[in-house]
């Protein structure tokens, strides 16, 4: 499995220099020792573009087989001026690990976090009462399908055209538009199928009256 993950600033590495290894050094000490020329100015393309400076280095880390490519990402061109410094490691082929690849790949995590926040907060991703693996998978699949459907309508403007008379700009707004449309359809169905609904409630031991 290919990955891009974070490292602690006190993690010790051995820098690969040709075929030789230097003495172990802490990542923050290594970052401080690098010259300004070692960093590449790179833009992160988010909702608001952000400029960072990235240095990529091949290292050897204890308890890991082979060499790894690490990246030092700072919000300033020099270590002394930076107040936000991140350290990353990846096992992707070194030829692919450029400064732009590092920041583009890591910035994608934002959308993963958005998904989990919205799926848990609005669609009940963690609110299951089952224990079997098959039931858990079914619950997750239903949540993922609902999320995909609602997001697709939000992004394409489908909900705004059909189910709302105001702009739909957030996931909660899209979800509320969807719920409103579904409640209308349920009420329409219930008007003609009250006996079916009452029989369903009776099968559960309840009286719908």
pLDDT in tens, 136-166: 899 999 888 888 888 877 777 665 567 777 7
Long-range contacts, 92-101 (Cβ 8 Å, 24+): 92/2, 92/4, 94/58, 94/67, 94/69, 97/56, 97/69, 97/71, 98/56, 99/40, 99/42, 99/54, 99/55, 99/56, 99/71, 100/42
Q: Say what the pLDDT of residue 157 is.
A: 66
Let me know: does 34 contact 85? Beta carbons within 8 Å. Answer: no
Mean pLDDT for the stretch of residues 195-204:
93
Q: Say what the pLDDT of residue 79 is.
A: 93
Query: Each residue of 91-142: pLDDT tens digit?
Result: 888 788 888 888 888 877 777 778 888 888 888 888 888 788 998 899 999 8
Q: What is the pTM of this model?
A: 0.60
Q: Across the chain, what does the average pLDDT equal?
A: 86
Q: Say what the pLDDT of residue 182 is.
A: 85
């Amino acid at each position: 499995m290919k990955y891009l993950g974070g490292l602690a600033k006190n993690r010790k590495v051995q820098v690969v220099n040709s075929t030789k290894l230097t003495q172990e050094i802490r990542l923050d000490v290594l970052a401080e020792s690098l010259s300004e020329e070692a960093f590449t100015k790179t833009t992160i393309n988010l909702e608001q573009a952000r400029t960072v400076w990235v240095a990529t280095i091949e290292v050897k880390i204890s308890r890991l087989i082979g060499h790894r490519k690490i990246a030092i990402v700072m919000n300033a061109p020099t270590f002394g001026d930076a107040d936000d410094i991140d350290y990353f490691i990846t096992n992707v082929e070194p030829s692919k690990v450029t400064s732009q690849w590092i920041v583009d790949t890591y910035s994608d995590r934002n959308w993963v976090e958005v998904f989990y926040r919205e799926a848990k907060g609005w669609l009940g991703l963690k609110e299951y009462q089952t224990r079997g693996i098959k039931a858990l998978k079914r619950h997750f699949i239903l949540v993922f399908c609902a999320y995909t459907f609602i997001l697709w309508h939000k992004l394409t403007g489908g909900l705004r055209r059909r189910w709302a008379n105001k702009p739909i700009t957030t996931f909660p707004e899209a979800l509320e538009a969807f719920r409103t449309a579904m409640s209308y359809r349920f009420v329409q169905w219930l008007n003609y199928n009250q006996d079916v609904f009452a029989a369903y409630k009776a099968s559960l031991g309840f009286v719908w009256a």
